[in-house]
Amino acid sequence: MLLKKLGVLSALACLFLAAPAFANKPIVIKFSHVVAENTPKGQMANKFKALVEERLAGKVEVKVYPSSQLFGDKKVLQAMLLGDVQMAAPSLSKFKKYTKTLQLFDLPFLFKDMAAVDRFQQSASGQELLNSLSSKGLIGLGYLHNGMKQISASKILKVPADAHGLKFRIMSSDVLAAQFQAVGAAPLKKPFSEVFTLLQTKAIDGQENTWSNIYSKKFFEVQPYITESDHGVLDYMVVTSKQFWMSLPEDIRTVVKTSLDEAIALGNKVANEKAVSDKQKIVDSGRSEVITLTDAERTQWVEAMKPVWKQFEDQIGKELIDAAYNSNK
Ligand code: SIN
């Protein structure tokens, strides 16, 4: 009898001791992304972790998973809706399953530079697009820059005819597929994590990406030529699930959002710097030759690819395309 009583008492003591630990368990934010840590997105995610954990010490813990360690971009949004990951920042080209409107950002030669991209993203139309995933249970918390895309290949590309018959890896975007089809090339939708091997084994002839991604993922080591085309933008939307976001206590949500905004500002600064410094590192490596286009050659690419706008006008909306285009002025 005495033993039985002692057993009950020790079980109660265990519960009593465990309860406060359970009550104080920090909220965990898993942040999954596919790029290296020395990139705009990698640095933004790490800064976000540092700020949140400093300001909400013991209350919120941020676990960052770079380089597709947790999820690739194909699975991450589904995983977010299931509660297996709380934040991610896929490229704007990877939301097709959730909304057609964001295809806007893939239209070739829509933005003349990153300043125009930024003006549009900060405009009323750009900010409204952060809500375009709402009916699917996702919230856009902000945009993050990477930069303008360049085309790397196994041969010199100066005019669209040079790309004819070549296989290019693209992100999972129908607009990007149409863009390469418009120059007679064969687009292949493949995950970012597979690009290096596909290039190295010559299963594909080329790919399009930013200087930062070409450098950090070493694509320049297996691609002898990079055409400086600046033909499109690769930016991100930082997203979370509505369910997770609304479950956060308001004071915590405010600090998380402020910290994210600050981390994004740092990421954008890194993006601007890397567009210059990573290009220079590639040039200095001597592994890949950077091909500069003359105005006449560039015009040929614009003329070949621009009909893609019309092809996707119904899905994206003419007004939105006009608003984005007007940010070039
Ligand atoms: C990324 O920058 O997040 C990946 C881009 C790509 O898939 O090419």
Considering only the C-alpha atoms of the chain, give the largest distance between any 2 of them, rounded to a whole number of Å: 96
CA 91–ligand 1 middle distance (angstroms): 6
Residue 14 has pLDDT above 80, yes or no: no
Report yes or no on 13 lying in a domain. Answer: no
Residue nearest to atom 6 of ligand 1 (CA): 192
Q: Mean pLDDT of all residues in the chain?
A: 94
pLDDT of residue 23: 58
Residue 13 has pLDDT above 50, yes or no: no
Residue nearest to atom 8 of ligand 1 (CA): 192
Report yes or no on 8 lying in a domain. Answer: no
Residue 11 has pLDDT above 70, yes or no: no
Closest CA to 186 of 163, 203, 209, 208: 163
Pocket-testing residue among 41, 149, 192, ligand 1, by greatest number of atoms within 8 A of Cβ: 192
Pocket-testing residue among 31, 32, 33, 35, ligand 1, by greatest number of atoms within 8 A of Cβ: 35
Report yes or no on 67 lying in a domain. Answer: yes
Residue 15 has pLDDT above 50, yes or no: no
Instruction: Kindly report the CATH number assigned to the domain that includes residue 75.
Output: 3.40.190.170
CA 271–ligand 1 middle distance (angstroms): 13
Any residues with CB less than 8 A from the CB of 150 and at least 6 apart, and which? 208, 209, 210, 211, 214, 226, 227, 228, 229, 230
pLDDT digits (tens, 9 = 90+) for 149-203: 999 999 999 999 999 999 999 999 999 999 999 999 999 999 999 999 999 999 9
82 vs 85: CA distance, rounded Å: 8
CA 94–ligand 1 middle distance (angstroms): 9
Any residues with CB less than 8 A from the CB of 231 and at least 6 apart, and which? 108, 109, 148, 149, 151, 179, 208, 301, 305
Report yes or no on 11 lying in a domain. Answer: no
Residue 272 has pLDDT above 80, yes or no: yes
Ligand 1 pocket residues where CB is under 6 Å: 34-35, 91, 146, 171, 192, 209, 213, 234
pLDDT of residue 19: 42
Residue 7 has pLDDT above 60, yes or no: no
Residue 80 has pLDDT above 90, yes or no: yes
Q: What backbone phi and psi angles, to 5 degrees, belong to 62?
A: -110, 125
Report yes or no on 147 lying in a domain. Answer: yes
- What is the domain count for the chain? 1
pLDDT of residue 24: 76
pLDDT digits (tens, 9 = 90+) for 83-123: 999 999 999 999 999 999 999 999 999 999 999 999 999 99
pLDDT of residue 153: 98
Residue 4 has pLDDT above 60, yes or no: no
pLDDT digits (tens, 9 = 90+) for 232-247: 999 999 999 999 999 9
Ligand 1 atom closest to Cα of 39? Answer: 2
Ligand 1 atom closest to Cα of 191? Answer: 7
pLDDT digits (tens, 9 = 90+) for 217-235: 999 999 999 999 999 999 9
Report yes or no on 6 lying in a domain. Answer: no
pLDDT of residue 107: 98
> Quick one: CA torsion of 212, 217, 223, 224, rounded to 10 degrees?
60
Range of 135's domain? 18-328
Pocket-testing residue among 209, 217, 235, 270, ligand 1, by greatest number of atoms within 8 A of Cβ: 209
Question: In the structure encoding, which two tokens stand for residue 91, read together?
Answer: 């490229």
pLDDT digits (tens, 9 = 90+) for 275-320: 999 999 999 999 999 999 999 999 999 999 999 999 999 999 999 9
Ligand 1 atom closest to Cα of 209? Answer: 8
